[in-house]
Amino acid sequence: MKKEILRIHDFNMEYSSTVKLTNISMSLMAGECIGFLGLMNSGKNLLVDILCKGENLNQRSFYVNQRIVNCADIQKSVYRIATSNYLIDNWTVGEYICLDSVSSILGIYWKNRLAAKTELFLKHLKLDIDVNKKLGDLSGLEKRLIDLVKAYSLEKKIIVIEDEFQGCSIEDIKQFKEVLNRVINNRMVVIINSHSDYVSNILSDKYIIFKKGYIVKKCNKEYIKDNNHLEKFLLGARITSKKKDLDSYKNEQNIISQVIYSVKNVRLKIRDDIHLDFAKSEVVTILILDVNEKEQFFDLISGRYIDKYMKIYLEQNICNFSNVTDFVKKKIVSIADMGGVDELLLSMSDGDNLWIPSLDKISSLQYIFSQHRMDKMLKKQMKGNIEETGNDIKNMSINDHIILLLERWYIYKPKVLILLEPFVHCDIYGVSLVKSYIKKFTSLGTTVIIVKSREEYIADISDRIIHIK
């Protein structure tokens, strides 16, 4: 009989007027991989934060190994796997796995013993990874595998995976699942809270589905037939209607064979120079598995990094750009953090953020007269969440950030729009939101270039898919 690892009994919490947890109860058993599904405000992210940070715990509601736990106990029991874990590139595998249990000074002094200890863990789990290898030299799969080993070495009871597995292929994720099952065996439980459908589907054995703070379904993965079936649990009537409207948007602009944008002599590591042409109104997805190369490619073609050997052509004319501002002035624009706040000015209002590309071209009088129209448009687009000018961007939802970023450039009517991993922060509604905007841009005549790791979400909107290996 399986051992119960985590039990939550009748937990209630109100974080805000739109994010809460109501009557949450669940029993998670050793060896299970449970996918948490739901929209951004469904409550699933709030519950994961509570488990990972140990804050706001009702001691009568949370049990680990059938023992009531407090904040300190829950933190000791949980290990979180996320991309942010691998930022120290110069640490060795041995240091990364074992330095949590000793001071840094002792860790350096006992480096050889750390390596030997790590090798024992790797051997026990049948993993062939060099303990002296630097984190920066590991593949995407290897980074996730050593995180599993670290959770195992620390004797954690609960693993929370908040990761889209960028830099990993589908086969990598399947291989990770095989090792995951071996590691957790009858000693741990895994919670998957990922924006990637691929990751959730491959890693999960069961689903717990959240909606408006409630658990609305607990089921085996096989119970969910397809996305339409899943949406019946995830979406309310109002969101379902909005999503259908977004999904039904048609691009009435035909692709014109005229080449609008060309990049030549694009250099990525040790490979032949890349030459690419993009036609007016087409959607082209560039797939690059390696995370560093993918980001480098995006930076080069969007002007965020200038390579003097690379050649840029806009409407057949060579462009001598010196910085990203030159790209924007010629209406070649880009978004690197769709749904995040990195490209929003948090000290400015929502309306001001929309006008950023045009502020050097309009007079103060035009700006003032345009405010009413801008507010009206925002209220309509953001589902009525914005009630007055100067809305605090930090308090907006991820989907509202997506609207703000895309609407900013839609107003600008760019010739080329370049997107890096545009679905990485998206829930199921956000995916439809981004896709509908891509269609709207192409209806303007804009060429849309998407740079991604995998084919997830893009097959139905791409006119061309180019693999760069």
Q: Tell me the pLDDT tens digit for each residue of 301-329.
A: 999 999 988 999 999 999 999 888 889 88
**pLDDT grade for 268, boundaries at 50, 70 and 90:** confident
Residue 171 φ then ψ, to 5°: -65, -35
Distance CA 339, CA 415 (A): 22
More confident residue, 451 or 131: 451
pLDDT value of residue 166? 92
Of the chain, the end-to-end C-alpha distance in Å amounts to 47
> In terms of Cα–Cα distance, which of 298, 292, 336 is closest to 138?
292
Give the pLDDT mean for 426-450: 94
pLDDT value of residue 391? 57
pLDDT over threshold 60, residue 239: yes
pLDDT value of residue 370? 46
pLDDT value of residue 357? 58
Based on its alpha-carbon atoms, the radius of gyration of the chain, rounded to whole angstroms, reads 24
CB atoms closer than 10 angstroms to residue 178: 9
Distance CA 17, CA 27 (A): 27
pLDDT over threshold 50, residue 266: yes
Count H helices and E strands in the chain, helices first: 16, 19
More confident residue, 25 or 240: 25
pLDDT over threshold 70, residue 369: no
Ranked by mean pLDDT, which of 182-191, 382-391, 393-402 comes out on top?
A: 182-191
pLDDT over threshold 70, residue 109: no
pLDDT value of residue 2? 83
Domains of the chain: 4-90+134-234 (3.40.50.300), 247-467 (3.40.50.300)
Q: What is the dihedral of CA 428, 431, 433, 434, to 10 degrees?
A: 170
Please, are residues 84 and 53 in contact by the beta-carbon 8 Å criterion?
Answer: no
**pLDDT above 70 as % of the chain:** 84
pLDDT over threshold 50, residue 367: no
> In terms of Cα–Cα distance, which of 409, 408, 406, 412 is closest to 426?
406
Give the pLDDT mean for 363-370: 39
pLDDT value of residue 108? 54
pLDDT value of residue 29? 96
Distance CA 202, CA 35 (A): 10
Looking at 260-269, 314-323, 339-348, 420-429, which range is the least confident one? 339-348
**pLDDT grade for 43, boundaries at 50, 70 and 90:** very high
Give the pLDDT mean for 278-286: 96
Mean pLDDT of the chain: 85
Give the pLDDT mean for 328-349: 80
Distance CA 180, CA 190 (A): 9
pLDDT over threshold 70, residue 19: yes
Give the pLDDT mean for 71-100: 86
**pLDDT grade for 25, boundaries at 50, 70 and 90:** very high
pLDDT over threshold 90, residue 227: no
Looking at 62-66, 115-119, 227-231, which range is the least confident one? 115-119
pLDDT value of residue 342? 77
Strand partners, 63: 7, 68
Give the pLDDT mean for 133-140: 92
Give the pLDDT mean for 201-221: 96
**pLDDT above 90 as % of the chain:** 56
pLDDT over threshold 50, residue 372: no
Place of tokens 């750009």: 321
Ranked by mean pLDDT, which of 64-73, 190-199, 387-396 comes out on top?
A: 190-199
